[in-house]
Structure 1
Amino acid sequence: MSVSRQTKAHTFPPNFGIQDVPTNGTILHVRTGGEGPAVVLLHGYAETGDMWAPMAADLAEDHQVIVPDLRGLGLSAKPAGGFDKKTQAGDIAGILDALHAGTIDLVAHDIGNMVAFQFAVQYPERIRRLVMIDAPVPGLGPWEEILKSPMLWHFRFGGPDMERLVAGRERIYLDRFWNEFSAQPDRFDEAARAHYAQLYALPGAMHSGFAQFAAFDQDADDNRAWLATGARLRMPVLAVGGEKSFGTTMAAVMRAAATDVHESVLPDSGHWVMEENPQATIELVRGFLKDAV
């Protein structure tokens, strides 16, 4: 399948490079651009690294910006396993090594949060600042209460027929999330929906997406095991929730595991912050990366 790259909001500046980077037993599709302190942007489910294009363009004015597609998603390889977030943190470490990036600022959304948290656990010396946007982290804080929400039925969607049920119907399945988790669904526009639906219709993409969720129990066990040691994240953390989505709960999640949490609620937005209120999201992140020490 030929995937269109013509969606303006998801097009990276022409001076960004694109490469497929072997890492940790798989290959991740990575965009890089700019010079300065390194910042890594991690996407979540129902989107790819393309969600970050406007922020990447802004941050590249004074940062080296690194934007991968997560294991199995977007244009990254579709391996059979390794979808626990502890393994995927190793994917990111391998990219940094390949690009000769030392310490980084790390910005994440949705499932990207879960990978970012494990990266912070395993490689705390490599992170200057951490931004976590609008999604829980398995095993942290109110995780068990969060799981009871009927809105999160897809966390447990599984079984032998799940891929067959959505094959050829990827857009129908994804529209459910884009509509229900938006403050105003029309802000997740048709061009963006068509773009991501194409990417999730690629062979192996929906299997990989389901595998990201199926790993949550292992992720929770891994995170709880780390918490049980008494360890805490020491780097400054910006916890951002959409006003019409996770709100202040994002900060509550991170206070369960970090000592220096800065709370922020993104106004006029649901979950899809880079579709619904991209400028405010960029300003929040840029301000934190500049001011936090």
Structure 2
Amino acid sequence: MIRTALAAPVAAGLALAGLAFASPSQAQPPPFPASFKISEIPANGATIHVRVGGKGPAVVLLHGYGETGDMWGPLATDLARDHTVIVPDLRGLGLSSRPAGGYDKKTQAGDVAGVLDALKIDKADLVTHDIGNMVGYAFAMQHPERVTRFVLIDAPVPGIGPWEEILKNPLLWHFRFGGPDMERLVAGRERIYLDRFWNEFSADPSKFSEGARVHYAKLYALPGAMHAGFSQFAAFDQDAIDDKAILAEKGKLPMPVLALGGEKSFGLTMAAVMRYTASDVTEGVIPASGHWIMEENPTATVKIVHEFLDAKKDPKS
């Protein structure tokens, strides 16, 4: 069975300040190096909260639902030794702005392009997880010349391969969760709602620490955050239309792709999905992990991703 989660400046500052005084058992997710700089970059009608650090070839890390760019701390720390690492919060999530619209992944690909343009970066590797896969895919299809290598981790792509079959999985009821009362139902209960994802999509729920749960629950309880999160899912039907259209127009992704699944989650299904839409796919599995790869097995994830990004290209390519 396929298991996957897909998943006001002052208020934000106060919420994060509260986290700074948490006890050790309530600590935030593993931090980014102090050398990373934080910027608020206007892009494509949104303001994107971005962390940038390191030196070398550029790599963009895109998070998914239930987390923010904070999830990438261990990987960003490792890659910053020989890469320029760019870590945005997706539109509407984390500390990025929450515009009224634009949650289709084609539009959010424009957010990524805007961030790279502002940083004067022409090309980058992509490493993505969950809804980040969908945004990264839209960017790579629109701008294949700007993506050198692409790692997608543990979530499908709307409209691609067995998408309709994946939607039938009862664990994915949240893809269709909607209606006028959905926000009222979870208001003040954000932690309860998110615990469901963190528990059901983990191989071992204890690996998703209490500190990380507190941190992310506070961010998702910020004004407008749950609305933005639901908007990410509500856009899936349009995303499927867009993804099918651009695949028919442009053909398969040309860059090397690493399709990674958690052993207790998507597993090798990730590669099966990506072979419908990419011509050079390497498959991989994160052992002893469900969906939450950076919480459940960060050591293996970092090693596999870094080795793929550093692999020499085929001289025939």
User: What TM-score do the two structures reach when normalised by structure 2?
Assistant: 0.91
Q: What residue ranges of structure 2 are gaps of 5+ in the alignment?
A: 1-10
Match in the other structure for 1:220 = 240
Deviation of 1:229 after TM superposition, in Å, equals 2.7
Partner residue in 2 for 1:33:
53
Equivalent-residue separation in structure 2 for 1:264 and 1:292 (angstroms)? 18
Q: Does structure 1 residue 149 correspond to structure 2 residue 208?
A: no
User: Match of 2:128?
Assistant: 108
Kept in 2, the 8 Å contact 1:9–1:54? The answer is: no
Spell out, residue by residue over 1:138-194, the C-alpha distance to the aligned partner (whole angstroms, 9 max, x if none): 000110100000000000000000000000000000000000000000000100000
- The Cα RMSD (Å) is 1.0
Structure 2 counterpart of 1:142, one-letter code: P
* 2:304 pairs with 1:284: yes
The Cα of 1:226 is off from its aligned counterpart by 1.6
1:271 is the counterpart of 2:291: yes
Give the CA deviation at 1:102: 1.3
Instruction: Say yes or no: does 1:24 pair with 2:58.
Output: no
Which letter does structure 2 place at the counterpart of 1:267?
Answer: P
State the one-letter code of the partner of 2:270. Answer: M
CA contact (8 A) 2:103 2:232 kept: yes
Size of the aligned set, in residue pairs, is 293
Is residue 103–residue 126 contact of structure 1 (8 Å, CA) maintained in 2?
yes
SS state of the match for residue 226, structure 1? helix
CA distance in 2, matches of 1:164, 1:223: 32
1:83-102 equivalences under 5 Å are 83-102=103-122
Residue 173 of structure 1 pairs with residue 219 of structure 2: no
Aligned residue for 2:29, secondary structure, equals helix
Q: Matched residues in 2 for 1:25 and 1:9: separation?
A: 29
In the superposition, the TM-score normalised over structure 1's length comes to 0.98
Name the CA distance, whole Å, in 1 between partners of 2:110 and 2:312. 26
CA distance in 2, matches of 1:250, 1:222: 20
Partner of 2:159: 139
Indicate yes or no: 2:275 matched with 1:255. Answer: yes
For residue 309 of structure 2, give the secondary structure of its aligned residue in structure 1.
Answer: helix
Q: Is the 8 A contact 1:85 1:219 kept in 2?
A: yes
Point out which structure has higher relative CO (alpha carbons under 8 A, 6+ apart): 2
Matched residue, 1:160: 180
State the SS of the aligned residue for 2:120.
Answer: coil
Cα displacement string for residues 3-38 of structure 1 (whole angstroms, at most 9, x for unaligned residues): 225735331111000011000011000000001000
1:236, 1:261 within 8 Å by CA — same for their partners in 2?
yes
Structure 1 stretches of 5 or more lacking a match? none
Does residue 95 of structure 2 align to residue 65 of structure 1? Answer: no
Distance 1:210 1:278 in 2: 27
Q: SS of the residue aligned with 2:33?
A: coil
1:236 and 1:292 in contact (8 A); partners too? no
